Amino acid sequence: MTPGAGLYDPVYEHDACGLGFVARLDGRRTRETVEEGLEVLLNLEHRGTTGSDPETGDGAGILTQIPDGFFRKRCKELGIELPEAGCYGVGMLFESGVDEGLGCEGRLEKICAEEGHELLGFRGVPVVPEAVGKVARSVMPRIRQFFIAGQGGDEAAFERKLYVIRRRLHKAVEDSHACYVVSLSSKTVIYKGLLKGRQLPRFYPDLKDAAFASAIALVHERFSTNTLGSWELAHPYRYIAHNGEVNTIKGNINWLRARESRLHSELFGRDLEKLSPVILPGQSDSASFDNALELLHLAGRSLPHAVAMMIPEAWENDGLMDPERRAFYQYHSALMEPWDGPAAVAFTDGRIVGAMLDRNGLRPARYSVTRDGRVIMASEDGALRVPAEDVIERWRLQPGKMLVVDTERHELLHDEDAKRPLFGRQPYRAWLEEGEIHLNELPEPSTNPRPEPASLLERQRAFGYTIEDQRILLAPMAQNGKEPDGSMGTDTPLAVLSERPQLLFSYFKQHFAQVTNPPIDPLREELVMSLKMSLGPEQNLFDETKKHCRRVLIEGPVLTAAELEKIRSLGSERANSTTLSTLFPVSTGEEGMEEALARLCEKAESVVKAGSAVLVLSDRGVNETQAPIPSLLATASLHHHLVRAGIRTATTLVVETAEAREVHHFALLIGYGATAVNPYLAFETIEDLAGTHLMEGVGPEEAAKNYVKAIGKGLLKVISKMGISTLFSYCGAQIFEAVGLNQELVDRCFTGTASRVGGVGMDALARETLERHRGAFSAAWDNAGELEVGGEYQLRVQGQYHQWNQTSIPPLQRAVKTGNFETYKEFTRHFDGHSARFATLRGLFDFERAPIPIEKVEPAREIVKRFVTGAMSFGSISKEAHETLAIAMNRIGGKSNTGEGGEDPTRFTIDPNGDNRRSAVKQVASGRFGVTTEYLVNADVLQIKMAQGSKPGEGGQLPGHKVSDDIAKVRYSTPGVGLISPPPHHDIYSIEDLAQLIHDLKNANPLADVSVKLVAEVGVGTVAAGVAKAKADHITISGHDGGTGASPLSSIKHAGLPWELGLAETQQVLIQNDLRGRVILQTDGQLKTGRDVVVAALLGGEEFAFSTAPLVATGCIMMRVCHLNTCPVGIATQDPELRKRFTGTPEHVVNYFFFLAEEVRELMASMGFRTFEEMVGRSDMLKMRDAIEHWKARGVDLSAILYRAEAPEGTAISHSERQNHGLEKSMDNELIGKCIPALESGKKVSFAHPITNTNRTVGGMLSGEVARRYGNEGLPDGTVRINFHGVAGQSFGAWLARGLTFTLEGTTNDYVGKGLSGGRLAVFPSRLAAYKPTRNVVVGNVALYGATAGEAYFRGFAGERFAVRNSGAHAVVEGVGDHACEYMTGGVVVVLGETGRNFAAGMSGGVAFVLDEAGRFETLCNMDMVGLEPVESEEDIELLRGMVERHMEWSRSERARRVLDEWDEVLPSFIKIMPHDLKRVLRERQEPELEVAS
Amino acid sequence: MGDPKGFLKIGRKPSPKRTVEERVQDYRYVYEPMPDEELKGQASRCMDCGVPFCNTGCPLGNLIPDWNDLIYREHWKQAIDRLHQTNNFPEFTGMLCPAPCEAACVLAINDKPVTIKEIELSIINRAFEEGWVVPRPTPPEKRTGRRVAIVGSGPAGLAAAQQLNWAGHTAVVFEKDDRIGGLLRYGIPDYKIEKWVVDRRIAIMEEEGVEFRTNAHVGENPTTKDLKGEFDAIVLAVGALQGRDLDVPGRELGGIHLAMDYLVQQNRRVAGLPTNAEVEISAAGKNVVILGGGDTSADCLGNAHREGCASVKVLTHGPRPPDNPDHLTWPDWPFILHTYPAHEEGGERGFSVAVKGFSGTGGHVEKMHAVETERTNGKTVAIDGTDFEIETDLVLLAIGFTGPVRDRFMREMDLGYTHTGAIHSENGFGTREPGTFVAGDAKRGASLIVWAIAEGRKAARQADEYLMGESLLPE
């Protein structure tokens, strides 16, 4: 196995996990604590995973206090004399490879001596290699411990010294990677490895030693996306265990690196120099985080302080936040950008142990406090079995909050107690008031920007403006304040293949979050988002002075000319600015640009050294003789130059450029280091357009404001699709991949950016710039002031090439209508033409030939079974079009896909004429529309849509006017009420969550394959490996270019990669991890021809999905108006009149797929493949076309795509085995057995059953059995009743069908009642519990997600996102966390108590009632889509009272009893939450009746 | 853009025409202007397609969706700017183009296409009314000093000349006739395009600096040698005026003429000019037979009515084309029975007629001898025993053209011909002779005016590239 070869890069590995700690408040070091820690690990094992070797885990570990008694005993045996407890350091060492020279031991001895400490000796750590898996054993290091004597006195100073020794040792052996110090501390020691949790104590007998005792046990079980795991990557690290992902890691590392030269610490003194680089290159995000935290801590900050600084709460938009708290965060934002991303972090220094959640609360963390003073925190409740009567507090960590246990002072500190001392450390508020100034508060500038020598038109041409830029991008943004939408994906060439000069921006593709990390909804969860930026130099990170927060704040990164002038005139008092021109003389030609760039960097370095705190890079002044360096090139080059020079944080980059105009441009400039951008030409253009036909009724000022707003919103979307909340941390984070830039250019100017197919260099960028410049200043005549047409979004013959065009569409349509293969060939021939060949990467490929007669090739009727139609919902396309595709695919034995809109149950039965309208593939997307248990059991494949090609990482919206009666019916929603699909699946925030959803679906329908749909981006291969480990049966890799639905134009164009890259990477990584055989690999994205299919097969594809082409076959003519409902051929519309124009038939689709298969056969014959199977993964049969006559494409190098992963003999390179889903272990097998009488004859069944947190998805399989037999109708109410007791695992009561009632005495974890389909759930605390039932967490996060019907009664609190996307369940709960009722479209929720923030965000239907006795609800509710009303109508009162009564009945709720007892007094405290949309629909429905009545 | 639902609200409505009774009395333009309000409604029917087949179906690549939207929003000035980006002479195409764009319109699939041609014409008419169409002379500092000869002053030659002049070259147009315009001038009847329309455009070009030399039959005066000596490049836009003839007995009789001879005479008469012809051709009081079913035949038909013929029959060789297009044809030009305004004015249309010969007394035609045909295996063949006769005293042959007239100039240039008779071209608009380019009917055979303009523009760009190494003229 060769990591780093081909497209696989270990940098993109992700992990997630279960974590936990057990701590004793009394600080007693006990054996039990260690054992309890190990038990937690055991009970979280399902959150970890294994790879191809079932006995090799992804990693597990435990961190404890130094067990002095244990080490003293062992060392004595070895003749090592330890100083008194706390006065010696223990090092845990992994050694591998061959030591050269001094070896690890010699080096360590030398370093210790130099640092003035005595190395006392080594101890071989006893291990039992047989306890671990084969793969783990094969890479197992030698494990030793060493001991270093302290010098007495300052403990902290000793820890710092040990840190210095460790860093020096690592640096000394860096090249050979021969040794890795797991931990070196006088306080803590870590035992970890490439293990499963249960193997840990077996492997390390030390852990079983009676003398091995601690008051703290911090444990971690890892789930990594691939299995090329290493012993080092296991958690805990020295200070933390982490469940999460730092999305901004590249930026965080770069910024810390940039800060290093400005660090000075009295505590470290000269030792500081020995530490650099503080963050070791090539580590995981968690390890990097640990390095940074360690540095901040050892330099003087307490762990809670340092953690709060790195993972701040969402303070920016929280008006309710305590001012001192806010000031603390605001002040620290001047010191360091957030380490942004979902996170649950447990941290310890050996004395305190704590945990903290990110601002979004995107990881679970539950804790209990026992009567005997133990604090147990874990990803799941119940991880340590504690009898209910011993628990005195049962709660959860809330978003942004912290919990700390101080084992010395015997204190349990909740968030406020833990953080309050921090807020008062310094007069932060006073400092901020004095030091910070907002740009708005500065006087208007007296100077005006320099006059431009060239006319507006000349400059627009010089910067490549087109009519489309004006008409399709700028004008709509300036008119409506938002980015425009488009449809039908993109079919234009990649920038590097385009014949037309491209802006440098177009060579970059945005990254997005999928699976390992959730995207955020920037609209509905705005409270966590921020665009705030600031200008000014940074100070020493270790200090806290008022000087640190002397800076100029700006609301967002888009500056008007006047604002830029304000910054220019700040003066030395605030921030000296220097404007650097980025122009170069045209006469110096292509080389001139490179020289100018070098000069720019030199100049910048000298002015920053002279104290310039703001650098303005300006391309103003373009004229006949001066051309601009592309602004992104200038910005990124300078950023990296200053990072390398160690002076980056002394200045801020502001870009004054005519080039930036669309969201993607701004995202890139900021992503490569710019703090703010003044797009002056965009503003001038908008001013010029204001009042013209393109922008009617909008004045220039309003237009400019709208434009700024649109860019801001767009940027929020770009960062949130990566799961990043603050633009501040996005700055410099480089979350892009370059496609078509050569390595030299990337290394120099975009250091660290992935660019895997090579491409053009600086000379080509200069050539493109000069070409535009010539067009602007040398044109013979001005063409009546008209710009070039563009043609990127809509085809124009004068503009950009599109694959779907006037010469490709008609022959395809003629061919499928006439059944003429020759006509079809005309269609295909188009793609052999020059333009089409240079539209895609696959166009650059050629095949190796070894012909055989075509008769020997597998028949077309077999090949067509590999074809599927893409996921298009009924809703995005018409009923006629949707069913035509389904019938056609069923006829040929392929598969059609429901898309995310549910499916009418009438389609589950065969039509009288034999046609089958049932879609074989049922999609489960983030909106869960129509996902009932019946829907799930009627599938052959259940596809989890993690992302879609046209807008990966984004959600969607179906406006109310499109929700017709039919659509509302299959989506279980109200006609006329709008529907929102969230960007993330709210039950998938990480890879272990995906494993859980796969398990849930598999339970509901064990016969169906579970598929996971991903979109190509760098690292998708490692994600896919994780998905395979999460037990998906099938993986789809989508290209960026497909997509039929409406999406923002910038997403269609700039997010995601061609499938060639994604598929090849996936194939390579799966093979290298020996996981390929477990999954079927599918690909899609503008597949059209037999050639496309064959290329995809050779790269590893086994199934192929098509959307656009079959639509074209049924009459689509690429109007690209799907989002407008005006499709003139009746496909993408719900308008009954337009639907009549649909003329497509199943025969057309069948003809297309048979033509395609026939063409595939011809190619197979030419290559000598008899069966399709033989062809899969044979990338050796592909080569690059010989003569590439295209000047830009010549630099493209496809060898990484063609790389064939080396694998041991017998490693599968295509699908060969079935996943082991372990369903036989499901408790449901037993439940089904007991319920047979109910299932088979409807007899009543009732029994009790114990449950623990390792029992997952209880009820899912049973419900599937009900739905299979009785459909959505289920069984009569009360048929089955099961009374559980204990702590339920995740997804308790998932998919619960009608007729099933589950009660649970105890508590539950996340995803309770997921997809509830008519069943009844009641959860209430144990009668014996020592805590107050009114204040306990009884259900975890994300309960009732996507529930379509049923009842739920929860006595106690629910976590975050209660009843998210509920569309039918009636639920009562006694308190909820943040974001409750988010995206709800139906059902009723009653909250008899407190709520968190952002209640009802995106709620378009259903109603909620909240008992608001404290009178705070209004401030907590998101009022964007709902109104608040008193509960007055009889109907409402009856509904509410009835639900409270049933709650009392089912959950024994005391609170319900009180409410009912005092009904009249309590009723006025209830608030009804009513969605505006629903209210409008109800009113509209009533109106006709009223008319009649009057 | 536009009204996304416009096509659902409003049906196609073409421009009104003057009544037949009125218009056959004169040679004035047949159509009446469309009221602005209605035009706006028609423009709103445009669906702003992602793949605008109108734009691709138009040889000029007219930015049709763009200007449809501009008219919907009543931004006439910008509309003409956008239109002039791709089309030098929208008034010519607006009046004369059969509109392949409309055949390609996406609405033509299951509805009626947008009235693109009318919108185009309205834009240019309005632009002239408003004084927006003004000469745009190339500033002296942009002059290249290169000289280009354009031979032929039809639409291809004019377009090439204007483009080359704008590129800074000295463009000189040679016309063998006494007036500029080629077929526009003497080929096409006034009721389709009144000649002041042509004059207006030529005046603008003259002001921009294009030089016109009339009565200049290249090859004779100036000689081929002179031409080559004086110019750095040559663009041949000599048309395809050699009319196809019939080789049947009796063809030599008086009263049988090539259509173009008839049309030229009549156009000169309408212009108040002497025909300068040996034999005056007139349809007045005659029983006219027009052979051929294309544009030229329709032009003869319109003229014949206006001259007051006694009767007129339009006969074609092949069978009657279908009334509705085959649904597989879109977006291509459909094979259907095209009906022009001239057909509405009277006359009889006959199909499947093959001419066997003519007879007459006194050297003048009196009868046409014909036979019915049928179409079998893709060939049109005579049916035995179906012979019949038609009495006629004027027969006009409008059965196509065989390429450029092979005069002395053509012989001396010696560029070779294609199998259809057109001048052999290579590498786009080049010829065997470096620096000599060919465009329009001369290159592609008799075709549409829109092709002529499109080719003139493209040939100009290629000539500019030849002269300067690169060209900033639009592709």
What is the pLDDT averaged over residues A125-145? 93
Q: Within the 150-189 window of chain B, which residues sit less than 8 Å (CB to CB) from chain A?
A: 166-168
The strands making up B233-236's β-sheet, listed across from edge to edge, are B211-213, B170-174, B147-151, B233-236, B436-438
How does residue A1206 score in pLDDT terms, banded at 50, 70 and 90?
A: confident
Q: What is the pLDDT of residue A177?
A: 59
Q: Which residue of A has its CA nearest to B67?
A: A693
- Distance to chain B for A793, nearest Cα, Å: 7
| Letter string b/e over residues A520-545, b meaning 16 or more CB atoms within 10 A of that residue's CB | bbbbbbbbbbbbbbbbbbbbbbbebe
Q: What is the pLDDT of residue A175?
A: 59
What stretches of B400-448 show up as alpha helix (H) in DSSP? 408-413, 441-444
How does residue A1491 score in pLDDT terms, banded at 50, 70 and 90?
A: very low
The answer to whether the CB atoms of A781 and B142 lie below 8 A apart is: yes
* Closest in A467, A780, A797 to B472, CB measured: A780
Measured between beta carbons, which residues in chain B are less than 8 angstroms from residue A781? 136, 138, 142, 166-167
The answer to whether the CB atoms of B328 and A1129 lie below 8 A apart is: no
Token digits of residue A803: 């694959």
Look up tokens 């299932």; give the residue: A1239
How far apart (Å, rounded) are the C-alpha atoms in residues A1024 and A1080? 11
Strand partners, A220: A19, A61
- Distance to chain A for B6, nearest Cα, Å: 10
On the question of pLDDT at A1154 being above 50, the answer is: yes
Q: Which of B55, B76, B101, B134 best tests the A interface by mutation, with the highest count of A CBs <10 A? A: B55
How does residue A228 score in pLDDT terms, banded at 50, 70 and 90?
A: low
* Closest in B5, B70, B331 to A693, CB measured: B70
How far apart (Å, rounded) are the C-alpha atoms in residues A378 and A917? 47
On the question of pLDDT at A1045 being above 90, the answer is: no
How does residue A3 score in pLDDT terms, banded at 50, 70 and 90?
A: very low
- The closest alpha carbon to A623, from A453, A785, A782, belongs to A453
> Measuring CA to CA, how many Å separate B151 from each of A1043, B164, B178, B444?
52, 13, 14, 16
Q: Within the 26-65 window of chain B, which residues sit less than 8 Å (CB to CB) from chain A?
A: 47-53, 55-57, 61, 63, 65
* Closest in A806, A1119, A1128 to B331, CB measured: A806
**Using one digit for the tens of pLDDT, what is the confidence trace for A367-403?**
999 999 999 999 999 999 999 999 999 999 999 999 9
On the question of pLDDT at A515 being above 70, the answer is: yes
What is the pLDDT averaged over residues A461-471? 95
Tell me if residue A191 falls in helix, strand or coil: strand
Measured between beta carbons, which residues in chain A are less than 8 angstroms from residue B55? 795-797
Measured between beta carbons, which residues in chain B are less than 8 angstroms from residue A488? 50
Instruction: Inform me whether the C-beta atom of residue B475 falls under 8 Å from chain A C-beta atoms.
Output: yes
On the question of pLDDT at A493 being above 80, the answer is: yes
The answer to whether the CB atoms of B52 and A795 lie below 8 A apart is: yes
- Distance to chain B for A1002, nearest Cα, Å: 41
How far apart (Å, rounded) are the C-alpha atoms in residues A1164 and A860? 11
Instruction: Inform me whether the C-beta atom of residue B8 falls under 8 Å from chain A C-beta atoms.
Output: yes
Token digits of residue A633: 């090139």
The answer to whether the CB atoms of A693 and B61 lie below 8 A apart is: no
* Closest in B47, B74, B81 to A1128, CB measured: B47
Contacts of A1094 (CB under 8 A, 6+ apart): A847, A1160, A1163, A1164, A1167, A1175
The answer to whether the CB atoms of A1141 and B110 lie below 8 A apart is: yes
What stretches of A735-839 show up as alpha helix (H) in DSSP? 743-749, 762-777, 809-818, 821-830, 834-837
What is the pLDDT averaged over residues A996-1015? 97
How far apart (Å, rounded) are the C-alpha atoms in residues A449 and A981? 45
- Distance to chain B for A1045, nearest Cα, Å: 14
How far apart (Å, rounded) are the C-alpha atoms in residues A512 and A490? 18
Q: Which residue of B has its CA nearest to A776?
A: B472
Measured between beta carbons, which residues in chain A are less than 8 angstroms from residue B70? 693
Instruction: Inform me whether the C-beta atom of residue B145 falls under 8 Å from chain A C-beta atoms.
Output: no
Count of CA atoms in the C-beta half-sphere (13 A) of A461: 23
**Using one digit for the tens of pLDDT, what is the confidence trace for A327-374?**
999 999 999 999 999 999 999 999 999 999 999 998 999 999 999 999
* Closest in A794, A1138, A1141 to B50, CB measured: A794
**Helix A1020-1029 and helix A991-1004, axial crossing angle in degrees, nearest 10:** 50
* Closest in B4, B53, B55 to A1121, CB measured: B4
Share of chain B above pLDDT 90, in %: 94
How does residue A1492 score in pLDDT terms, banded at 50, 70 and 90?
A: very low
- The closest alpha carbon to A805, from B57, B456, B214, B335, belongs to B57
Q: Which residue of B has its CA nearest to A1138?
A: B8
Number of cross-chain residue pairs from A and B with Cβ atoms under 8 Å apart = 121
- Distance to chain A for B101, nearest Cα, Å: 12
Tell me if residue B149 falls in helix, strand or coil: strand
What is the pLDDT averaged over residues A565-571? 89
Mean pLDDT of chain A: 93
The answer to whether the CB atoms of A1129 and B109 lie below 8 A apart is: yes
Q: Which of A467, A500, A770, A783 best tests the B interface by mutation, with the highest count of B CBs <10 A? A: A783
Measured between beta carbons, which residues in chain A are less than 8 angstroms from residue B75? 692-693
Contacts of B438 (CB under 8 A, 6+ apart): B235, B236, B237, B415, B423, B425, B429, B431, B459
Give CA angle at B26 (B23, B30), nearest 5°.
Answer: 40
Q: Which residue of B has its CA nearest to A489?
A: B50
The answer to whether the CB atoms of B63 and A1118 lie below 8 A apart is: no
**Helix A879-892 and helix A1146-1167, axial crossing angle in degrees, nearest 10:** 40
- Distance to chain A for B12, nearest Cα, Å: 15
What is the pLDDT averaged over residues B377-404? 95
On the question of pLDDT at A4 being above 80, the answer is: no
Contacts of B20 (CB under 8 A, 6+ apart): B344, B345, B346
Instruction: Inform me whether the C-beta atom of residue B205 falls under 8 Å from chain A C-beta atoms.
Output: no
Q: What is the pLDDT of residue A1238?
A: 97
The answer to whether the CB atoms of A781 and B82 lie below 8 A apart is: no
Higher per-residue confidence, A1435 vs A691: A1435
* Closest in B82, B109, B330 to A786, CB measured: B82
How does residue A2 score in pLDDT terms, banded at 50, 70 and 90?
A: very low
How far apart (Å, rounded) are the C-alpha atoms in residues A877 and A802? 23
- Distance to chain B for A697, nearest Cα, Å: 13
Instruction: Inform me whether the C-beta atom of residue B474 falls under 8 Å from chain A C-beta atoms.
Output: yes
DSSP conformational letter for A153: S
Instruction: Inform me whether the C-beta atom of residue B284 falls under 8 Å from chain A C-beta atoms.
Output: no
How does residue A1210 score in pLDDT terms, banded at 50, 70 and 90?
A: confident
How does residue A959 score in pLDDT terms, banded at 50, 70 and 90?
A: confident
**Can you spell out the DSSP letters for A330-390?**
HHHHTT-----S-EEEEEE-SSEEEEEE-TT--S--EEEEETTSEEEEESSTTSS---GGG
How many other CB atoms are there within 10 angstroms of residue A1269's CB atom?
Answer: 15
**Using one digit for the tens of pLDDT, what is the confidence trace for A735-756?**
999 999 999 999 999 999 999 9
Measured between beta carbons, which residues in chain B are less than 8 angstroms from residue A797? 55-56, 61
* Closest in A775, A781, A785 to B81, CB measured: A785
Q: Which of A471, A473, A835, A1126 best tests the B interface by mutation, with the highest count of B CBs <10 A? A: A1126
Q: What is the pLDDT of residue A694?
A: 83
Look up tokens 């009446």; give the residue: B32
Measured between beta carbons, which residues in chain B are less than 8 angstroms from residue A961? none
Q: What is the pLDDT of residue A1003?
A: 97
**Can you spell out the DSSP letters for A655-705?**
EE-SS--SHHHHHHHHHTTEEEEE-HHHHHHHHHHTTSGGGTT--HHHHHH
**Using one digit for the tens of pLDDT, what is the confidence trace for B302-326?**
999 999 999 999 999 999 999 999 9
* Closest in A692, A783, A794 to B85, CB measured: A783
Measured between beta carbons, which residues in chain A are less than 8 angstroms from residue B49? 794, 1117-1120
On the question of pLDDT at A30 being above 50, the answer is: yes
On the question of pLDDT at A1117 being above 60, the answer is: yes
Q: What is the ipTM of this complex?
A: 0.95
Q: What is the pLDDT of residue A1488?
A: 58
On the question of pLDDT at A439 being above 90, the answer is: yes
Give CA angle at A940 (A934, A941), nearest 5°.
Answer: 100
**Longest pairwise C-alpha distance within chain B:** 74
Given a contact cutoff of 8 angstroms between Cβ atoms, the answer to whether A715 and A665 are in contact is no
On the question of pLDDT at A176 being above 80, the answer is: no
How does residue A1 score in pLDDT terms, banded at 50, 70 and 90?
A: very low
How far apart (Å, rounded) are the C-alpha atoms in residues A1154 and B203? 60
- Distance to chain A for B444, nearest Cα, Å: 21
Active site residues of A: 17
Look up tokens 């605030």; give the residue: A574
How does residue A1234 score in pLDDT terms, banded at 50, 70 and 90?
A: very high
On the question of pLDDT at B295 being above 60, the answer is: yes
**Using one digit for the tens of pLDDT, what is the confidence trace for A17-28?**
889 999 999 999
- Distance to chain A for B131, nearest Cα, Å: 14
How far apart (Å, rounded) are the C-alpha atoms in residues A301 and A1355? 41
On the question of pLDDT at A859 being above 70, the answer is: yes
